[in-house]
Amino acid sequence: MSVPPQGPQWARPDQPRRQDAPAGGPVPPAPAGQPLRPGQGQQGPGAPAPADGRFAQPAGGGAAQHSAPQFPGAEPPQGAQPPQGAKGAQRKSGQQPPAMLGDEAVAGAAEALRKHSSNRIIDTSSGRADGLNKCPRCGGTDIQYSLTAKALVCAYCRHSWNEENAEKAFGLDTSIAELQGHTMASGTADIQEDLTTMTLKCQGCGAEVVINVEQQLQARCHWCRQTLSINSQIPNGAVPDAVLPFHLTREEAIERIEAFADKRKAFAHPRFKAEFVPDNVMGVYIPYMVVDGNMHAVLQGTGEVTTRQYTVRRKVGKDNYVTETYYDADVYSVQRAFDLLVDDLTVESAERFDAKDNAQATNNILNAVQPYDTENAVAYNSNYLKNFTSERRDLNVRDVDDQVEEKFLAIARAKASPTIGRYDRGVRWEQEGVAVRGTRWVSVYVPVWLYSYADSAKGQDSLTHYIAVNARNGNTMGSVPVSHPKIFALACAAGSVAAVIGAVVGFGWFLAG
Amino acid sequence: MLPLLAEMAADPATGMLLADSDSGAIGIAFPFLAGPAVFIAVYVGIYRYYRNTDKRHHFEKETEVAVGNLKQGDRKVGTNNRQKSRTMSGVNSTDHLERVRRIQVR
């Protein structure tokens, strides 16, 4: 039986490729048993949903027509394709002589092509060449984002404008229910770490200006003083698909940070109080992946319903009796299956801001100031980034897709909660899974006013405490270093008072008893 | 002194001893339980208010999600009688971030 070609590139969604990008290494094949990746488990358009297969046990399911999502420890379905690597090696070794393709092979190739084409790349580049980024009215290049006008403003003609809404401009607002396969905006392309400098040719005077694209995306031409910008989506993660511009002014952010810290002065570390200068707040663009998902989730577990509650009085010791309450319950096998359409799920795409890693810095604070109205993000223009710092994206889609899948499962669990209200003794979920039919990935810069404090006495090993303000809606959260001796003293005092009160009450109880 | 009290409070034998003793004697344990409990509550409460180590974005509740095509398949499999606890063991329906065994879904 001939098998449709399934090279490693079909195991994952294709990454956007650029013409000028050096050839990267081959995409590693996804081993069997690997957690769900985008590209796995997608159902073909028009594939009929199994009417009764939703609650079937994994091993007892029907024949798999298409590649199904693989989960750790799960056996591949009956009829699943053999490992890709082995097949590829077989072909490379020339064991299979080239021959006329039969009908099955042609059909298989067509199927593979259909799957391949379902991984769609949306070009979100501006179309402008690197170099001058001109004002649409006067052609000036001295442009910056004004927080008062909340728009880009030309320093010469005062013309103000905003780039077009990214969702509308690039067709990223199509129905999530219709998502099949994996749609990826071109700004989510794989990162090339070795791209550190670029040479921009000034279209004004012809000079060539070298720019360190790890640090900045704009530079002045040292001859004619025009501003030169990176306008294309260079593959180092510094250029997103869209930018969510700042709305809160610096002064508003300082106010919020001061108010937050003022409430936490009493037990703050003395050095923090001495060194706290909220004026040091910085405007930072932080990269996020924004993911839409069309999926089917299944949860299985056990639930209990109380059928009877009664008390039993039993004798303890000589004359004492103890009354105990008991519960009888019916045990149910609980199963839920439903479709989910997830809109604008965000996930950090800069490793140093990983919300789960708080060893070096209090990254959970940055996570906690969400949500952002990412649907209002505008198409990338380097002038939005001027006068702010921006963190470069250093994680690819394949680096965060496991995390996204876990978030999909968490959402499924949350959405199942209203359907299990009858189980008053609770539900214990034991198995869960999600079949992702389609996803859409967009890289977005979100705005944060960030105050960071690292204890100067502890040197480089000290924990960096953030106080962050969401520059769209003003959500403020922070971490203030504490003075442990002060907290200890207060806790001791409170504990002592409680012990004294307890002694008085206890003594009275003893006398009464 | 305080570690000693905390140790006593944490020792399950203390509770059993008190439960089996006269009800009046329970009163003697009040200061030894209330003191450490308040100490821990104050310490942890202030620390969390300042450091906010538990704060995160509740994406599972705040992300815009549409749910449809719900299918339920519940069936009774047995009984669990004479239980002392009001809730069943291992309840995790409110702990959305806890992952359980993955199954294959088509």
- Cross-chain residue pair B78–A364, CB shorter than 8 Å: no
Q: What is the rounded distance in angstroms from the CA atom of residue A470 to the CA atom of residue A214?
A: 25
| pLDDT tens digit sequence for B24-34 | 667 778 878 88
| pLDDT tens digit sequence for A316-356 | 877 788 899 999 999 999 999 999 999 999 999 998 888 88
Q: What is the rounded distance in angstroms from the CA atom of residue A253 to the CA atom of residue A241?
A: 26
Predicted local confidence at residue A111, as pLDDT: 53
Residue type, A72: P
Predicted local confidence at residue A295, as pLDDT: 95
Least Cα distance to A37 among A16, A11, A7, A6 occurs for A11
Instruction: Examine the predicted complex and report whether its ipTM is higher than 0.90.
Output: no
Q: Which bin fits A97, alpha (ψ -120 to 50), beta or left (φ > 0)?
A: beta
Tokens of A100: 């006329």
Predicted local confidence at residue A193, as pLDDT: 75
Strand-strand pairing, B101-102 and A427-454: parallel
Q: Residue A118: which pLDDT band, with cuts at 50, 70 and 90?
A: low
Q: Report yes or no: A250 and A466 within 8 Å, Cβ to Cβ.
A: no
Average pLDDT, chain A: 78
Q: Residue B22: which pLDDT band, with cuts at 50, 70 and 90?
A: low
Partner-chain residue, chosen from A410, A430, A492, that has the shortest CB–CB distance to B39: A492
> C-alpha distances in angstroms, A315 versus A24, A318, A325, B16, B48?
78, 8, 14, 15, 44
Say yes or no: A414 contacts chain B, CB-CB below 8 A: yes
Which residue's structure tokens are 């801001």? A353
Q: Report yes or no: A379 and A164 within 8 Å, Cβ to Cβ.
A: yes
CA of B42, closest CA in chain A: separation in Å?
Answer: 5
Say yes or no: A33 contacts chain B, CB-CB below 8 A: no
Within 10 A of A129 (CB to CB), how many other CB atoms are there?
12
Test the B interface: residue of A362, A482, A507 with most B CBs within 10 Å? A482
| pLDDT tens digit sequence for A347-389 | 999 988 888 888 888 999 999 999 999 999 999 998 999 889 9
- Specify the higher pLDDT residue, A251 or A73: A251
Q: What is the rounded distance in angstroms from the CA atom of residue A135 to the CA atom of residue A143?
A: 7
Query: Which residues lie across from A95 on neighbouring strands?
Result: none
- Cross-chain residue pair B65–A434, CB shorter than 8 Å: no
- Classify A378 as helix, strand or coil: strand
Query: Which residues lie across from A242 on neighbouring strands?
Result: A379, A444
Nearest CA in chain B to A362: B53
- Cross-chain residue pair A344–B64, CB shorter than 8 Å: yes
Say yes or no: A68 contacts chain B, CB-CB below 8 A: yes
Least Cα distance to A273 among A38, A488, A42, A481 occurs for A481
B24-44 burial by CB neighbour count: b if 16+ within 10 A, else e? eebbbbbbbbbbbbbbeebbe
Q: Report yes or no: A370 and A355 within 8 Å, Cβ to Cβ.
A: no
Say yes or no: A489 contacts chain B, CB-CB below 8 A: no
Say yes or no: A54 contacts chain B, CB-CB below 8 A: yes
Q: Report yes or no: A197 and A210 within 8 Å, Cβ to Cβ.
A: yes
Q: Looking at residues B51-76, what average pLDDT do you find?
A: 94
- Specify the higher pLDDT residue, B26 or A397: A397
Q: Please confirm whether the linkage preceding A371 is cis (ω < 30° from 0).
A: yes
Q: Looking at residues A14-23, what average pLDDT do you find?
A: 42
Least Cα distance to A244 among A186, A189, A283, A211 occurs for A283
Statement: residue A452 has pLDDT above 60: yes
- Cross-chain residue pair A61–B71, CB shorter than 8 Å: no
Predicted local confidence at residue B24, as pLDDT: 63
DSSP B66-97: EEEEEEE--EEEEEEEEESSSS-TT--TT-TT
Strand-strand pairing, A181-185 and A427-454: parallel
